[in-house]
Amino acid sequence: MKSSERPKFGNLQNLKVLNAGAVIAAPFVCELFAEQGADVIELESTMAPDMYRMYGDAWSVDRRNQRMMTLNIPSPEGKEILLQMVKWADVLVESSKGGTWAKWGLTDEVLWEANPALVILHISGFGNWGDPDYVRKASFDPIGQAFSGYSNLNGFPGCPPNVTKPFTGDFATALMGAWATLAAVIRARETGEGESIDCTQFESLVRIQGATLSDGINHGIQPMRIGNEDLVGACAGSQKCKDGYVQVAVGGAGPVRKLVEFFGFADDEDFQPLGSYASITRAPGCKSLDEPLPPRAAKFRAALDSWCEEHTVEEVNRTFSEMGIPVSPHMTYAMMLEDPHYQAREVFIDVHDEITGKDVKQVNMMPKFSKHPGQIIRGGAKYNTDTNDILEEFGYSPEEIELLYEKGVLKKGE
C-alpha cells in the first residue's frame, strides 16, 4: 500500500510513525495511532518475523492499518534507510533491551541529527538507564509483573503469586507510552524540539497500584493475596449463584443502604446509623481471611452469600441492577457475542484478513470518537507486504531495492 492510497480519517491523520517494536507493547501503541488515521510503518526484522504472528487472528487485530516493511536495522544499509525514514517521521517507537539502539550506533542524538523534532519512544522491561545489571535484563509481560510487585498482589491464600492474564503488563505499558508520545508530539510541534521517552513495563505496573502501593511504601503493609475477595469490603466479590458466578461491588452509601434494607438489617443495631457507611468493611488491618469478621460484616456476608447461592445469575443480575447495585455476570466469550449491549455498541466487527482471505471477527475500535472517528482499512498484513511501495516513496529504484534484498537488508515474504 502506498501512502497516497491511504484514506484520510480520524484525529491523527497528520501523524507519521515508524514502528520498530515487536510482539505487543510497542506495536499496540502504533496500532492505536493507526486506528486514528496515523500513517504507521512497521519495520519487521529480517532475522525472524514478529513473534506476535504466532497468535493467528490476533495479528489481524493488533496490526490493523499498519504498513508492513522488512528491514535489517543494524546493518549499514539498514541504518541509512532508517535515517532517511526518520526525516519523514514524527514518531519512532522501538522495543528492546536497554542500550540496544545505542550499541547499534543509533543513539537519540544520532536520530535527532536526522530530525530534531522526532519523538522517540523507547519501551523495555527495565529501562535504558539505572543499575546496569537490570538495564541489560530481558523481559516479557510476566517478568514485568513480577518485578513490579503486581503479581504478588494477585492469587489465592496459600498459593503462589499470580500473573494476571492476558498480557496485563504489556497493554498497560502501551497505554502509558501512547499518552506520553502524544504529549511529546504536541510539544514538538510547538517548539520544533523532539523528545526521548523511556517507558518500562515494571514502572507502568507500579504506577497503577493505587492505594495498595501507597499503604505498602508508606506504612509497610504488604497485602495478603485474597483471590477474588474484595480488598476492603466483606464480600466475596465473585458471588456463587445457582448456575454460575456474578461480580458484585458493594460500595457507595446509597447502594450499601439498599442491600442492608434488602437483607432485613434496617433495624439491626449493628447496622446503625443506617446509611452512614459506604462499605461493609472487614476488620481493620486483617492479615488473614480466617480472621473473624466484625458482627456487621459477618451478618451481611452470610446474607449476601446465601441469597446469591439460592438464585440464578440472571436473577441476581436483574435484581441488583434494578436496585442500582453494581453487578455483572462473569461473561464468557459466547455470552459476549450474544449480549444486547455488546451488539448495540458494535463491540465486535468482521474485518477481511489479507493473510487468510477470510473475514475475522475482532474487537472494534475504542474509545468511540464522535466527530472524527477512526477507521479500519486493513487487518494485519503479510510479511514484507509494503516494502517495495514504501522504499519507492523514499526514492529507491526497483533495481536498488532488489540489490537490498540480495544483501539481506530486506527480506521477501513467502
* Catalytic residue from among 50, 62, 90, 170: 170
Question: By the 8 A CB rule, do 326 and 248 touch?
Answer: yes
Pair 118, 89: CB distance under 8 Å = yes
Q: Give, in order, the Cα–Cα distances in Å from 268 to each of 299, 308, 378.
A: 10, 21, 61
Specify the residue for cell string 446469591.
Answer: 308
Coil, strand or helix: which one is 252?
coil
Lay out the sheet containing 238-240: strands in order across.
238-240, 245-248, 327-329
Grid cell for residue 207 = 504506577
Local structure of residue 367 (DSSP, 8 states): S
φ/ψ of 198, rounded to 5, equals -105, 100
Determine the Cα angle at 224 with ends 221 and 226, to 5°: 145
CA distances from 12 to 122, 185, 195, 323, 373 (A): 21, 11, 19, 42, 10
**Separation between Cα atoms, residue 134 and residue 136, nearest integer Å:** 5
Closest CA to 125 of 108, 103, 111, 142: 142
Residue 378 identity: R
404, β-bridge pairs:
none
Instruction: State whether residue 120 is helix, strand or coil.
Output: strand
Q: Is 126 helix (H, G, I), strand (E, B) or coil?
A: coil
> Using CA atoms, how far apart are residues 96 and 199, in angstroms rounded to an integer?
11
- Going through 143-272 in order, the beta strands assigned E by DSSP cover 195-200, 238-240, 245-248
**Residue 61 in grid coordinates:** 487485530
Q: Is 170 a catalytic residue?
A: yes
Whole-angstrom distance, CA of residue 286 vs CA of residue 119: 47
Of the candidates 48, 56, 198, which has an alpha carbon nearest to the alpha carbon of residue 128? Answer: 198
| Residue 301 φ then ψ, to 5° | -60, -45
Question: What are the residue numbers of the active site?
Answer: 170
